[in-house]
Amino acid sequence: MRKAKKSKQQGLVFQEPKDYELDPNAMIQTFDLTKIYNITEGIEIRALNGVSIDIKKGEFVSVMGPSGSGKTTLLNMIGALDNPTSGAVYINRTNIAHMDDKQRTNLRLKEIGFIFQFYNLVPVLSAYENVELPMLFAARTKQEIEKNVNKFLDLVGLSDKKDHLPSELSGGEQQRVAIARALCNEPSILIADEPTGELDTKMGMEIVKLLRELNLELNQTILMVSHDPMVGALAERILKMRDGKIIETVDTKN
C-alpha cells in the first residue's frame, strides 16, 4: 500500500495537553467532545455538545436517540472518520488527534471494525473479495487473508455464498458479509451504525444476536447506534442522546 503522507488532515484540531483522567480499563474514552458544522455563514449546528463517555474493554454499549441527536457524528469521531471541533477521543489510552495520517489509517483498518446501515459493500466484488478488502489494505499475507476470510465467513454462516455478489444476497446476508469484513483484521473494537436499519425485525434481531455472541465469545468491545429500542436493549448499557448530549445512561443488567 502507498505510504501515508505525514501532513495533518485538513480541519484536524490538535488538543493542548489537558489533565484528562484516563481509565486503565477503558477501550474508548471521549472527553468533552464537540462538533460544530457551519451550514452557511453565521449558521452553525452543534452536532455534539460536550460528550464524555467511557467504554470498557469487552463492553457492548448502544447509543440511542432520535434522528439528528448526534449518534452517527459521535461514532464518526470515535472511528477517526471525522475530526471533532474540540475535545478528545482516546482509543486504548491513545489520543487519536495526536496520530498522523498513517496511524489513523492503521487505526481504521486494524483496531476498529466498521459496520454501516447500508452495508457499504463494493457491488462489483464477491462476498469473499469484500471481506478480504481491509486485509489487502493492511498488507496481510496471502495465507492470513485466506485463513481469516474463510474463518469469518464461516462464523457469520455464509461459507456457501462466498462467490456471490452483493446483488445476489439478501439484506441480512449483505450485513453478515459486512460483519465478516469488519472482523477480518481482528480489531479490538466493533463500531456499528444502525446495523439493523435496513432489515426487517426478524433479520435485525438475528444480526444483533450475532453481535452479542461476538461480544460474549470473542470479548469484542462493541459500540452500536440504533434508534430501535428492542435492538438497543440487547446491549449491556444504553447511552441516550439528545441534541448532541448524553442525557441518560441505562444499565440493562439491572
What is the binding site for another protein (CB under 8 A)? 1-2, 4-5, 7, 9-11, 76, 79, 81-82, 101, 105, 108-109, 114, 116, 118, 120-126, 129, 133-134, 136-137, 163, 165, 167
| CB 47 to another protein: min, Å | 12
| CB 114 to another protein: min, Å | 5
Judged by CB, which is closer to another protein: 76, or 188?
Answer: 76
Q: Which residue has the cell 457469520?
A: 156
Judged by CB, which is closer to another protein: 13, or 136?
Answer: 136
Angle at 59 between CA 57 and CA 61, to 5 degrees: 135
| CB 67 to another protein: min, Å | 17
| CB 94 to another protein: min, Å | 18
Smallest Cα–Cα separation from 13: which of 110, 105, 82, 112? Answer: 82
Judged by CB, which is closer to another protein: 14, or 118?
Answer: 118
Cα 48 to its chain centre, rounded Å, is: 17
| CB 125 to another protein: min, Å | 7
| CB 143 to another protein: min, Å | 15
| CB 104 to another protein: min, Å | 9
Tell whether the torsion through CA atoms of 211, 213, 214 and 216 is positive or negative: positive
Judged by CB, which is closer to another protein: 17, or 123?
Answer: 123
**141 with 191: CB under 8 angstroms?**
no
Judged by CB, which is closer to another protein: 129, or 236?
Answer: 129
Judged by CB, which is closer to another protein: 105, or 150?
Answer: 105
Judged by CB, which is closer to another protein: 121, or 231?
Answer: 121
DSSP strand pairing (26-40 vs 43-56): antiparallel
